[in-house]
Chains A and B, each alone.
Chain A
Amino acid sequence: MDTISIHAPSVPSGGAKTRRRMKVRLPAALALLPTALVVLIVYIGCMLWTVRLSFTSSTLLPKLDWVGLAQYSRLFANDRFLTSASNIIIFGTLFISGCLIIGFLLAVFIDQNVRGEGLFRTLFLYPYSMSFVVTGVAWQWFLNPGLGLQKLVRDMGFESFTFDWIVNQRMAIYTIVIAGLWHGAGLTMAIMLAGLRGVDKDLWKAAKVDGIPTWRVYTSVVLPLLRPMVVTAVVLLTTGVVKLYDLVVAMTLGGPGIATEVPAKFVMDHLFERNNIGLGTAAATIMLITVVTVLAPWVYVRYVRPQGRHA
Chain B
Amino acid sequence: MSTVSVRDVTVAFEAVQVFDGLSLDIQEGEFIVLLGPSGCGKSTLLNAIAGLLDVAEGQIWINGKNVTWEEPKDRGIAMVFQSYALYPRMNVRENMSFGLKMAKTPKPEIEKRVTRAAELLQITPLLDRRPDQLSGGQRQRVAIGRALVRDAAVFLFDEPLSNLDAKLRNELRVEIKRLHARLGKTTMVYVTHDQIEAMTLADRIVVMKEQKIQQIGTPDEIYHRPANLFVAGFVGSPQMNFIKGRLENTGEGLSFLAGDRRLSLSGYPFITAPSAGQDVVLGVRPEHLEIASTGIWPGFTVDIVEPMGADTVIWCSDAVGSVQVRTSGSRRATPGESVTLHVDPTQVSLFAADSGERL
Is chain B in direct contact with chain A in the complex (CB below 8 A)?
Answer: yes
Q: Which of B74, B81, B89, B103 contacts A206 (CB 8 A)?
A: B81
Contacts of B89 in A (CB 8 A): 224
Indicate if B85 sits at the interface (CB-CB under 8 A): yes
Indicate if A74 sits at the interface (CB-CB under 8 A): no
CA distance A80 to B63 in the complex (A): 75
Q: Contacts A224-B88, A225-B88; is A206 near B79 (CB within 8 Å)?
A: yes
Which residues on B are within 8 Å of A, measured CB to CB? 47, 50-52, 71-74, 77-79, 81-90, 98-99, 102-103, 143, 146, 150, 158
Tell me the A210-232 residues at the B interface (CB within 8 Å).
210-213, 216, 220-221, 224-225
Contact at B88–A211, with CB atoms within 8 Å?
Answer: no
> Could you give 11 example pairs across A and B, Cβ below 8 Å?
A202-B81, A202-B82, A205-B79, A205-B85, A208-B52, A209-B52, A209-B77, A209-B79, A209-B99, A211-B99, A225-B88
Indicate if A2 sits at the interface (CB-CB under 8 A): no
Contacts of B47 in A (CB 8 A): 205
Contacts of A209 in B (CB 8 A): 50, 52, 72-73, 77-79, 99, 150
Tally of contacts, chain A with chain B, CB under 8 A: 66
CA distance A225 to B102 in the complex (A): 20
Indicate if A200 sits at the interface (CB-CB under 8 A): yes
Contacts of B77 in A (CB 8 A): 209
Residue of A205, A208, A221 with highest tally of chain B CB at under 10 A: A205
Contacts of A39 in B (CB 8 A): none
Closest chain B CB from A226 CB (angstroms): 11
Contacts of A211 in B (CB 8 A): 71-74, 99, 102-103
Closest chain A CB from B179 CB (angstroms): 18
Q: Contacts A205-B50, A205-B52; is A200 near B83 (CB within 8 Å)?
A: yes
Q: Which of B82, B84, B88, B99 contacts A210 (CB 8 A)?
A: B99
Name 6 extra pairs, CB < 8 A, besides A202-B81, A203-B85: A203-B87, A206-B87, A209-B77, A211-B71, A211-B74, A221-B87
Closest chain B CB from A266 CB (angstroms): 42
Contact at B85–A220, with CB atoms within 8 Å?
Answer: no
CA distance A216 to B73 in the complex (A): 15
